[in-house]
Amino acid sequence: MKSKLFAAGLLLMPAVASAQSMNAQVFHQRATALEKKGMLALFSGDLKALMKEGKAA
């Protein structure tokens, strides 16, 4: 029984790892670019993507 649970966990591991679509460097670059936009960043599509990525992490 334990080996079946372990095998199932190994199968699900890549799915969890792929939930993050960008690494820390890309996240930081995009966040810095949004910061430079100031209030106009609220209308950027990158804001939603970064918020989604932050919640997934």
Is residue 49 situated within a structural domain? yes
The predicted pLDDT at position 10 comes to 47
Is residue 13 situated within a structural domain? no
Q: What is the CA radius of gyration of the chain?
A: 17
CB-based contact 30:45 (threshold 8 Å):
no
Structural domain of residue 36, as residue ranges?
Answer: 22-57
How many other CB atoms sit within 10 Å of the CB of residue 47? 15
Is residue 14 situated within a structural domain? no
Number of domains in the chain: 1
Is residue 57 situated within a structural domain? yes
The pLDDT tens digits along the chain (57 residues) read: 544 444 445 455 554 455 567 788 999 999 999 999 999 988 988 889 899 888 887
How far apart, in whole angstroms, are the C-alpha atoms of residue 4 and residue 29? 42
Q: Tell me the residue type at 8.
A: A
The predicted pLDDT at position 18 comes to 52
Is residue 12 situated within a structural domain? no
**In terms of Cα–Cα distance, which of 51, 50, 45, 56 is closest to 20?**
56
